[in-house]
Structure 1
Amino acid sequence: MVNTFDWFNKWSGYTPEKIALKDAETGKTLSYAQINNAANSIAFYLKDKHQLGKGDRIAIIAENDLTQVLLFGAAQKMGVILVPINYRLAHAEVEFLLKDSASSLVLYDENCYDVHALKHKATYEPIAPFIHFVDDEGPDFSEQLLEEDPIFILYTSGTTGFPKGTMYTHKMLFWNSINTALSLVISSATKTLNCMPLFHTGGWNVLLTPVLHHGGTIIMFKKFDAEKILDSIVTEKLDLFMGVPTMLKMIAELPKFETTDIGFLNYIIVGGESMPVPLIRKYHDKNVPIRQGYGLTEVGPNLTSLHQNMAEKKQGSIGKPNFYVQLRIVDDEGKDLHRNEPGELWISGPMITPGYWQNHEASQNSIEDGWFKTGDVAIMDDEGFVFIVDRKKHMYISGGENVYPVEVERVLLQHEAISEAVVFGIPHEKWGECGAALIVKGTEISEEEIKTYCLENLAKFKVPSEIHFIDSVPKGDTGKIDRKNMKKAFMIERNLI
């Protein structure tokens, strides 16, 4: 039987010399034939040297590079599961993910992460040499895969304080690509860049995998750099670009932005959070339409899209569901609500996850009769446009990174000098939001000591920017922390609202 999930094998037959990938830093390019050959060789290597096969997990701790796409190609052929890990995480956080996923091979970038302090028992191997497999041309490697087989385990911080591994399947990959192409008009002629990190579904699945599925071209950036991104948009004459509002704000603040012509872009896709109207107008003034949307790691991720013609009229809306996406807005009993009534957003379609890795309870709590319960509060207006009115629990977004306060609080409360802690997001000029921590001391501890402790146990973007000591944490009648009023009082006191 033929492996129908092997995209590079197909495109190497149709357009073997077509450039699929280009490294923005070095200028190195890879054709579809080169990627296919390398993916075959890597698959044989992983099988022969490491005895890996379908279902085995390979963790990747690295900055964006072309090699990760080669590994993705190998995973499509042999059925191994890739576990991308944020290289900015603290060692304790990485240890948890490696143990939870039971990854037997860890591929790492020596320039951005030191694996020597990790205690997880696995084979550790530098990722860089894998790029040399592009010089090989061996036989095809093909394993029969099922659509429900995972190709990724994508970890998201959660409201429990512990990360959950979303199983992202070949089926999800396919239907997300179809939904994306129908919404954004992606084809083999599409040329774009990726600067979103590959340890997020946004890096892999907002544009990268849909464009490769359709035979287009991706310019790969290691990370976001406003000036280099703007230059690339112009020199490469891109069709579209995807970023979060913080990125687009930094690009718009460049001195040369005003004099640079980017009006040839079909549009810019915005995700992560709502884009302010003044920033939308800055791009509209340069004849660049803005397409906003909504996505989740567990579902899609490309779920809704707001047409560029409605960017200002429906500012703040996530638009309407993509072609093969169904959504409901329900009350606490799961009953459908009327228009303009706020309720929880539920989503269904062929692109929802089968569940969380080795976490049956979380899977059961999140999926009901084929509907994924997002935890986000939404309304649908009279014209069918959807608005998110409250974020998932108490999450905030700092520089495009999701931060769950309960995860930060869990780490804080493990310190013997801290008896109580409450964390929430507050406005930040550069990053959109940052964390503020209100601490009740058990014994004496300084702000600097707390920040040092946090840096040892949390990724830098999760470390609260502000730390304030208080006498007690107010609680409601049931003993629950009154987060909403605590944050409101904090914001009023500092003239933030």
Structure 2
Amino acid sequence: MGADDPDDGGVADGPTPCPDDVPFDWVGAWSERRARLSPEKVGLVDATTDRAFTYRELDAHANRTARLLREYGVADGGRVATLSRNRPELVDCFFATGKTGGVLAPLSHRLAPPELAAMLSTVDPELLLVEAPFADLARDVLGHDDCTVAPEMLVVADAEGSGSSALTVDWPRYGERLPADDSPVDFADVSLSDPQLFLHTGGSTGVPKETVVSHRSVVWNSFNTITAWGLRPEDTTPMVFPMFHTGGWNVLTVPLFHLGGTVVIAREFDPETVLRSIPEHDASVLVAVPAVLRTMCRHDDWGETDLSSLRFVKSGGGPCRESVMEAWWDRDVDLSQGYGLTECGPNNFAMPDGWSHKKSESVGVPAMHVDARVVDDDGPVPRGEVGELELAGLHAADGYWQAPTESAETFGDGWVSTGDLARVDADGYYHVVGRTKNMYVSGGENVYPPEIESVVSTHPKVEEVVVLGVPDEQWGQVGKAVVEGDEGLTLEELREFLDGKVARFKLPKHLAFVDEMPTSGPSKIDRQAVEERFGES
């Protein structure tokens, strides 16, 4: 009935609802829409080969790749897995799966064959793209007892002979199979509820789970990032996260593609090359893990590198030490901490305009379209109290692939359980104080290791530190500081340094040293490996 129909009381019909399962032409049409808006703007730079790609070229590549993927059945939910470092072909696959309705499932080349065999079997891809240097690894994975799938294989290389010393398998070459036709392709009917990415978790508690990231999640995380961080079409970033990690896609890559910005990738991006790339590409935004930021500001080239193009830098993937933040602030760079996880976002918080450095230990306030709360077993806790951080919003993932029990535990009630402990201060800033599994109880008092680590790391003889709770007959558990740094440091010297800075029951009662902290994922400290080695008193 219309608005003037007397039988409807003069009330017009409401709009037709648009649920997530309704296909829209724009869903998955990232490269096609951006190429129409910004055809000659450079969207991607491959620093390894010194090639730049306009959005027109990226869309043409995506059309060729879409035709290739359809030949292998990577359409309408079919999956393409990759075992590769950051390279343009992964971007082509991201754009192409949007066109075909397929799913991109990048796998970490840093994992061992048993882990990859189990993960590949879970993903069950129609096609596996392998970068040439990892051909032998892929062969070991496919031959492992835990691998129950046999996808079609294509090998990717930079040029003829590149990585050929590692290429001991006779699989077809990606470049040779890629169709020449780059004209527009027919789009699949793709809705926001359809999966776009399978991204695996860090795997610190066993074989990594595959997180199902829908088109809705990707789009809304992009909205959050653009609005909360103030991204601009003219922004350029060196992408230092690997593209098998949510950071490689959803921290800055997709949001900048959304706007028409520029992303710079490379096969290897160590701190020295990141420093060099900032003035070389007029980089305006940078997001990296604390270890990378720390190494950059301690590099010999730090003082001579022109950082004036940077509008802001974000640290993510763990707490950033105050000394590192001060080093960047001293260079007039706006550095603050972010927070996210594969299961939600990963961009959830932002620092308000004009924020004070007194809030530097916080991750800020919730972004535009993010709900956050801190809870215990009885529900939300008052401000100032510690509980588990939970997040909600349209940017959340849908669950874990073929893992209903784990999905119910993490996503079950509409809130994503992060497993991180946090508190909200009087001004509404969120402070992440540690993982639920890392907290320990000493003499009946809860101890949160990051609080102690933050202070220990300011000692001049300490480069990096992990604090563990270890068994103690008198107190149940006490702290053990595992330090990377000057082994001349004594426990007594450390405790004297900490006295008055933290409560006495939090002072470590044991001290151990490592030459270098073990890492997992994109340069994140592997706390589980530290605990396995040093978890006894």
Task: Compute the TM-score of the two structures, normalised by the length of structure 1.
Answer: 0.79
In 1, distance between residues paired with 2:191 and 2:358? 44
1:163 corresponds to which of 208, 212, 215 = 208
Counterpart for residue 225 of structure 1: 270
Q: Are 1:73 and 2:129 counterparts?
A: no
* Aligned counterparts of 1:281 and 1:465: Cα–Cα separation in 2: 27
Q: Distance in 2 between matches of 1:134 and 1:46?
A: 10
Q: Tell me if 1:25 matches 2:48.
A: yes
CA RMSD of aligned residues (A): 2.9
CA contact (8 A) 2:73 2:126 kept: no
In the alignment, structure 1 residue 123 sits paired with structure 2 residue 152: yes
Distance, in Å, in 2 between the alignment partners of 1:346 and 1:202 is 20
Equivalent position of 1:191 in the other structure: 236
* SS, match of residue 96 in structure 1: helix
Q: How does 1:97-112 map to 2 (within 5 A)?
A: 97-112=119-134
Provide the residue aligned with 1:82 in structure 2: 104
Q: Which runs of 5+ in 1 are unaligned?
A: 398-402, 406-423, 431-453, 469-485, 491-497
Q: SS at the partner of 1:4? A: coil
> In 1, Cα distance between the equivalents of 2:481 and 2:127?
36
The 3-state SS of whatever aligns with 2:272 is helix
Cα distance, 1:199 vs structure 2 = 0.8
Residue 20 of structure 1 aligns with an amino acid whose one-letter code is G
Q: Distance in 2 between matches of 1:154 and 1:384?
A: 31
Change (3 A) 1:105 1:234: same
Distance 1:18 1:143 in 2: 27
CA distance in 1, matches of 2:317, 2:394: 22
Rg larger for: 2
- Aligned with residue 379 of structure 1, among 411, 423, 426: 423
- What percent of counterpart residues are identical? 31
| Cα pair 1:3 1:142 within 8 Å, conserved | no
Q: 361-370 vs 72-81, which deviates more?
A: 361-370
Distance apart, 1:327 and its partner CA: 0.7
Shift in Å at residue 331 of structure 1? Answer: 1.3
- Counterpart CA distance in 1 for 2:76 and 2:481 is 41
String of CA shifts for 1:4-34, please: whole Å, max 9, x gaps.
Answer: 3311101111221111101112210111111
**Structure 2 residue 372 is the aligned partner of structure 1 residue 327:** yes
Shift of 1:309: 4.6
Residue 258 of structure 1 aligns to a residue whose secondary structure is helix
Cross-structure match for 2:37: 14
1:438-474 C-alpha deviation (Å, 9 max, x unpaired)? xxxxxxxxxxxxxxxx9xxxx9986947976xxxxxx
Q: Aligned pair 1:357/2:380, yes or no?
A: no
Question: Matches of 1:210 and 1:159 in 2, distance apart?
Answer: 28
Whether the 8 Å CA contact 1:60–1:83 is kept in 2: the answer is: yes
Structure 1 residues 355 and 253, CA gap change in structure 2 (3 angstroms)? same
Cα deviation, residue 248, structure 1: 0.9
Structure 1 residue identity aligned to 2:267: K
Between the aligned partners of 1:426 and 1:156, the Cα distance in structure 2 is 25
The equivalent residue for 1:173 is: 218
Asked if 2 retains the 8 angstrom alpha-carbon contact of 1:197 and 1:223, the reply is: no
Matched, 1:389 2:433: yes
Match of 2:78 among 29, 46, 56: 56
TM-score by length of 2: 0.73
Change (3 A) 1:134 1:8: farther
Asked whether the 8 Å contact 1:340–1:379 carries over to 2, the reply is: yes
Contact 1:21 1:29 in 2 (8 A): yes
CA distance in 2, matches of 1:141, 1:392: 48
Amino acid aligned to 1:80? G
Give the total of aligned pairs: 420
Alpha-carbon distance in 2 for matches of 1:360, 1:127: 34
8 Å Cα contact 2:135-2:155 kept in structure 1: no
2 CA distance for matches of 1:283 and 1:74?
38
> Does structure 1 retain, via aligned residues, the 8 Å contact 2:82–2:128?
yes
Q: In the TM superposition, what is the alpha-carbon distance from 1:161 to its structure 2 partner?
A: 2.4
Alignment correspondent of 1:411: none
C-alpha displacement of 1:270: 0.8
Q: Which residue of 2 aligns with 1:38?
A: 61
The answer as to 2:350 corresponding to 1:318 is: no
Contact 1:83 1:152 in 2 (8 A): yes
**Partner residue in 2 for 1:442:** none
The alpha-carbon deviation at position 324 of structure 1 amounts to 0.2
Partner of 1:59: helix, strand, or coil?
A: strand
Q: Provide the C-alpha distance between the structure 1 equivalents of 2:392 and 2:355, rounded to a whole number of angstroms.
A: 25
Tell me the residue number matched to 1:286. Answer: 331
8 Å contact from structure 1 (residues 328, 336) kept in 2: yes
SS in 2 for 1:111: helix
In structure 2, relative to structure 1, the CA distance for the partners of 1:429 and 1:80 (3 Å cut) is farther
What letter matches 2:27 in structure 1?
A: T
How far residue 42 of structure 1 moved from its aligned partner, in angstroms, is: 1.3
TM-aligned CA distance change 1:5 to 1:95, over 3 Å: same
Amino acid at match of 1:124: M
- Once the two structures are TM-superposed, the CA of residue 3 in structure 1 deviates from its matched residue by 4.0
* Alignment CA distance shift 1:315-1:187 (3 Å): closer
**Per the alignment, do residues 460 and 11 of structure 1 end up closer, same or farther by CA in structure 2, a change over 3 Å counting?**
closer
Q: Note the C-alpha offset of 1:70.
A: 0.5
1:138-149 alignment, distance < 5 Å: 138-149=183-194
Identify if the C-alpha distance between structure 1 residues 234 and 96 changes in structure 2 by more than 3 Å, giving closer, same or farther: same
